[in-house]
Amino acid sequence: MPLVKAQCTQCGAPLEVDNSKEVAVCPYCKTPFIVEKAINNFNISNANIYTNQMVLNENTELKNKVNLLYREIRNKIKKANDLFEAYNRIIIKKGLILDGAERETLKDIQALETRFETMKETPIYSNEEVSTLKNMSDSLESIYLKIQTFMKKNTEVEKNKTVFKIFGHIALAIFIIILIVTISKCASNFTSENSSSRTSSVYTPTSNSNPIKIVSALKVTSSVTNVFTQTYNTTITGKIRNDTTTTYTNVVFEFEVETTTLGQKAILSLTISSLSPGDKTINSSTATKGNFEKINSVIVKIQGMNNFFLV
């Protein structure tokens, strides 16, 4: 006789029953039960567990998807800004100004950036958010193409010049580069010495819904350690809070820092091997090439959690 999975209607114990019989007795609580009801009981609770698990999996998947897109867009906005800045430098060097289409593209980048800043303050884990973010990502791709077209348009103008002129320009360019390098070396040595041990503007968190919070604003300090190699000792200090009752291991903080003078950016990371509930003072020190004075964003990655948090 084949046995069928069932669940006791009285105590809930998992059972295997002979479904050709009408009644049986639970070996655990000794209560007689109707076989068909016990089988139904098993099927219903199993279906519930399955459905709950499905919903949980779906939520985690969605969360990961949204978080990945946030990160992707953040990087893409940075790339778009970098590309546009590089292009703008070419324009300035040529003594030109941005035309209408170029100004529009810059406005588009800024609008996307502003929108993204607002979005990441209160992350929404929904399918609508996924498609909004995907659209933003596509918009950024088409912005890259536009900037590339602008660049092409400018190089074509160059091609029209004669070989002689080009050589003349190359010689002039080499001379200018040597001059710029010499001047900037002198200038940066001068600035470095003057900017040693300068404490930055503070970083104030944007979101407070995460398990990890920044309770006092973070500060970044860079002090020059070697003028000639442009090496700095960059320190991030502040206080963070684990707002849960869990002790997390290997919590990674990624700080995006920026030099306020040159706009040069870098990611500094700090790993805390054990982050117990409550407050913790952080003091991370790294040797960097660059005088970082500003923290743009902080991302927290917790081991065992696929999500990361923007704090």
Judged by the rule CB under 5 A, the positions of this chain that interact with Zn ion are 8, 10-11, 13, 26, 28-29
For 150, which DSSP code?
H
- Comparing CB distances to Zn ion, the nearer of 29 and 56 is 29
Instruction: Return phi, psi of residue 295, to 5°.
Output: -105, 125
- The gap between the terminal CA atoms of the chain, to the nearest Å, is 61
| Helix extents (H) in the chain | 35-93, 100-121, 127-159, 163-195
For 203, which DSSP code?
B
Provide, rounded to whole angstroms, the least separation between the CB of residue 35 and Zn ion.
13
- Comparing CB distances to Zn ion, the nearer of 28 and 190 is 28
For 214, the token pair is 């920044």
Q: Roughly what angle, to the nearest 10 degrees, separates helices 127-159 and 100-121?
A: 150
Provide, rounded to whole angstroms, the least separation between the CB of residue 26 and Zn ion.
3
Provide, rounded to whole angstroms, the least separation between the CB of residue 9 and Zn ion.
8
- Comparing CB distances to Zn ion, the nearer of 8 and 140 is 8
- Of the candidates 144, 128, 125, 123, which has an alpha carbon nearest to the alpha carbon of residue 76? 144
Provide, rounded to whole angstroms, the least separation between the CB of residue 24 and Zn ion.
10
- Comparing CB distances to Zn ion, the nearer of 27 and 95 is 27
Provide, rounded to whole angstroms, the least separation between the CB of residue 32 and Zn ion.
10
* Angle 15-20-21 from CA coordinates, rounded to 5°: 70
Provide, rounded to whole angstroms, the least separation between the CB of residue 301 and Zn ion.
46
- Comparing CB distances to Zn ion, the nearer of 12 and 123 is 12
Q: Give CA separation, 226 vs 139, 232, 258, 287, in Å.
A: 43, 7, 19, 10
- Comparing CB distances to Zn ion, the nearer of 29 and 171 is 29
Q: Looking up tokens 């809930």, which residue turns up?
A: 12
Show Cβ contacts of residue 86 under 8 Å, excluding neighbours closer than 6 positions: none
